[in-house]
Amino acid sequence: MRHGLPFSPQFYVTAPQTCPYLEGRTERKLFTALHGDNAQTLNDALSLQGFRRSQSVLYRPTCAECSLCMSARIRVADFTPSRSQRRVSARNENLRRRLKAPWASEEQYALFRRYLDHRHPDGGMADMDMFEFASMIEETPVRTRVVEYFDPADRGGETLGLRAASLTDVLADGLSMVYSFFDVGLSQNSLGTFMVLDHIAMAREMGLPYVYLGYWVPGSPKMAYKARFSALEVYRSGGWVAMDDPARYATTPDPLATDPIAQQVARIALPDAGQGAKISASQGADRA
């Protein structure tokens, strides 16, 4: 539904699909297209409200009977690594970081393919070919980089020293890790954790206050690692709150905790294309 405002993206709701986080449940997403001159501004504004980017779409879970998915971010200035996280950094001290434009490469795809085949053989991306992978990397209307981690001592093998990679958006207030993958043969190196730690270091170098990690879902083993980072915040009930004890968060969905779609859309703050001020979206959303 068009909002009739100076800067008026249209919002839609997906049909129910299998939930990727909690077994036996379904999910829906509220989403809008991301394009044009205001794409970066919209990405910044909606990321502050729990949205995530996938190619040229911004989305947020909006399930009818569940509100467990919470966007998570780390306060960079307050983060202190745990002893185990310091050991992870030490185990990967041989790796080097390189930032690249969002163009897909064959070595990235080879690493990505091995990662999917081992970690997510039945997931939604399991059949992704090189062309679809290239779309995931390259279809971005915002400031995006591929952050690669490589071992300079190893230039052999199918990935030519590439050990891990993250598709990362540069927001006005932080770095958003859109999607990351790594060498599954180095499980002892905890490369997923290492990439988060390095993004925290990179955000410090850039003077950015946050690192956005995607969604944390209490009760989901896939998401449990995110709660191990200190200075973590989650987007809940319309605002960012500091996470205390992860065990205190309910793992059973509450059907009464989810507001109607029209109310959710009405509360979205949109950037004014002319002045950068925040304005409220009018009610309404279409189904897709």
The 10s digit of each residue's pLDDT in 124-179 is 677 889 999 999 999 999 999 999 999 988 765 545 689 999 999 999 999 999 99
Read off φ and ψ for residue 132, nearest 5 degrees. Answer: -70, -35
User: Where does the pLDDT of residue 269 fall: very low under 50, low under 70, confident under 90, or very high at 90 and above?
Assistant: very high
Give the tens place of pLDDT for each residue, 206-245. Answer: 999 999 999 999 988 888 899 999 999 999 888 999 998 8
Q: Quote the pTM value.
A: 0.89
Residues 108, 40 share a domain = no
Give residue 159's pLDDT.
Answer: 54
pLDDT higher than 80, residue 7:
no
In a domain, 2, yes or no: no
Residue 257 CA to residue 65 CA, distance in Å, equals 8
Is 1 within a domain?
Answer: no
Q: Are residues 89 and 192 in the same domain?
A: yes
Q: What's the domain count of the chain?
A: 2
Structural domain that includes position 25: 11-67+253-287
Q: Which of 250, 246, 216 is nearest to 71 (CA)?
A: 216
Do residue 138 and residue 87 come from a single domain? Answer: yes
270 within some domain? yes
Does some domain include residue 206? yes
- Based on the domain organization, do 166 and 276 belong to the same domain? no
Which domain CATH number covers 165? 3.40.630.30
Number of H helices, E strands in the chain: 6, 17
Q: Is a pLDDT exceeding 90 seen at residue 197?
A: yes
Structure-block tokens of residue 238: 């319309």
Same domain, 43 and 151: no
Distance set, CA 264 to CA 11, 80, 126, 285 (Å): 11, 35, 32, 9
Distance between CA atoms of residues 273 and 84, nearest Å: 45
Residue 140 placed within a domain: yes
Rg (CA), the chain: 19
Can you give the pLDDT at residue 183?
95
pLDDT, tens only, 113-125:
999 988 766 666 7
Q: Which residue has the higher pLDDT, 22 or 209?
A: 209
Per-residue pLDDT tens digits for 84-107: 999 999 999 999 999 999 999 999
Domain identity same for 89 and 223: yes
CA torsion, ordered 207, 208, 213, 217, to nearest 10 deg: 120
**At CA 90, angle to CA 163 and CA 148, rounded to 5?**
25
Examine the domain organization and report whether 204 and 78 are in the same domain: yes
Exposed, middle or buried: residue 169 (CB in 10 Å: 0-12, 13-18, 19+)?
A: buried
Does residue 6 belong to any structural domain of this protein?
Answer: no
Q: Considering the domain boundaries, does residue 130 fall inside one? A: yes
CA–CA dist 115, 112 (Å, integer): 5
Residue 283 within any structural domain of the chain: yes
What mean pLDDT comes out for the span 70-94? 97
Same domain for 130 and 19: no
pLDDT of amino acid 215: 95
Q: Is residue 104 domain-shared with residue 243, that is, in the same domain?
A: yes
User: Among 266, 234, 274, which Cα is nearest to 250's?
Assistant: 234
Same domain, 37 and 118: no
